[in-house]
Amino acid sequence: MGCKMSGRRIYLDNAASTRLDERVLETMKPYFFDTYAVATSEFAYTQGIEAREALDEARGILSKALNADPEEFIFTSGSTESSNMALKGVAQALGKKKGKHIIVSKIEDFPVLHSAQSLERQGFKVTYLNVDGDGLINIDELRDSISDETILVSIQHANQEIGTIQDIDGISNICREKGTLFHTDATHTFRRVPLDTVKLPVDLITVSAHTIHGPKGIGGLYIRKGTPIAKWMDGGFQEFDMRAGIENIPGAVGFARAARLVTYLENTRMQAMRDRMIDRILNEIPATTLNGHRQKRLPQNVNISFHYIEGESITLHLDMHGIAVSTGSACFSRSLQGSHVIYGIGGDHERAHGSIRMSLSRYNTMREADTVVKTIAEIVRELRKISPLGEESHG
């Protein structure tokens, strides 16, 4: 039972994970059943050489997507590992040589935020930059925060919940001027929003396959040539002796295929669905607030707070209608914790707990977008009738 008893389900939690594309699976299959050897040097057996060639080809495709050289792209187990490696690797490499100061924004995703907090517990000083009502950092505040002790600035390319795209051009250039390394978490922008390492002085970039219809458990970290970064996981000499562990060859070739399958047209289609959903919800459902910037926004992200009701209730009722979305009112272990992102943009408890994120993918249609808006309108109207705060609502 998917909760709805029959009919097709509509999945709008693609920021959390996407459906694997069949073409990606087909590309991966030979590396489970035929070329399953570890990647070896040319002095070893044929299967291993073929595995090495597949890994190199995948690396070439992914690095090219960032306009980088292949040796600047390291495969990891996903964006969590990539961001941990970026922050902790740089901290270990420069902590004793240059300084112990790191700058992140308040609305980073947990891999960056919790890595920064972990470093703070180890004696590093961390500045958490404020963001404005749309989720954008203040460039002047960033410039003023960088000191001689600053070893790394980590600001996400786009936000995981509200979709706001930061001014990476401005941020990376300030970091370069000030002589500080810059890392960006591009988990949600990779292949959706252009990011060119030749045009922009970004030193480290986190990417992942799971947001672009690739497999889970594979991601990457772009490391600009010459960037001081310590190997933080001990083991073998894989990935240019930067990341130990047997290479995930099926994952790597799947990631590369997934990256190639994303098209400009697909991103434009998602943006049209996004805009239609946002416009219809704000116009047709009273007491709603858009979270995130209206224009500087991921093409696949819709995030709206429905006032006077809990996001969990909307999520549960949508599930009963066969629609999957997520809420900033995360019911972790039944202790209600509002989204740190919504609080970060100045939202209050009610706005945080009433927020719903709908993230689109290749497989969603305009018809589904309309169905979702219609169903949300009905659910919100009914829930407001029974909400303890319902009398205050206009719905």
Partner 1 sequence: MAEIKVDCIGETCPVPLVEARKALRKAKQGDIVEVTGNHPSSKKEIPMAVRAMGLEVLEIKEEKGTWTIRIRR
Least distance from C-beta 373 to partner 1, angstroms?
16
Binding-site ranges for partner 1 (CB under 8 A) = 1, 3-6, 310, 312-313, 316-317, 319-321, 331, 334, 382-383, 385-388
Q: What is the dihedral of CA 199, 201, 203, 204, to 10 degrees?
A: -50
Measure the CA dihedral 360/361/366/368, to 10°. Answer: -70
Closest to 2 measured CA to CA, from 317, 319, 331, 379 = 319
CA distance 154 to 232: 18
57/319 with CB nearer partner 1: 319
Q: Which CB, 115 or 355, lies closer to partner 1?
A: 355
Is 33 buried (19+), middle (13-18) or exposed (0-12) by CB count in 10 A? Answer: exposed
Q: How many CA atoms lie within 13 A of 260 on its CB side?
A: 15
Residue 5 or 265: the one with the smaller Cβ distance to partner 1 is: 5
Catalytic residue at 3? Answer: no
Residue 2 sits at the vertex; the CA angle it makes with 341 and 308, to the nearest 5 degrees, is: 40
Taking the C-alpha atoms of residue 186 and residue 27, their distance in angstroms, rounded to an integer, is 24
Shortest Å, Cβ 338 to partner 1: 15
**Shortest gap between Cβ of 142 and partner 1 (angstroms)?**
40
Least gap, CB of 390 to partner 1 (angstroms)? 9
Residues 6+ apart with CB under 8 A from 49: 40, 41, 42
Composition of the chain by helix, strand, coil, percent to 5: 40, 20, 40
Closer Cβ to partner 1, 167 or 319, answer by number: 319
CB of 349 to partner 1, least distance (A): 16
Per the CB < 8 A criterion, the answer to whether 375 and 285 are in contact is no
Shortest gap between Cβ of 215 and partner 1 (angstroms)?
A: 27
Cβ closer to partner 1: 256 or 379?
A: 379
| Residue whose CB is less far from partner 1, 144 or 378 | 378
Inter-axis angle of helices 264-284 and 366-386, nearest 10: 30
CA distance 48 to 325: 43
Which candidate in 331, 343, 370, 371 is catalytic? Answer: 331
List active site positions: 331
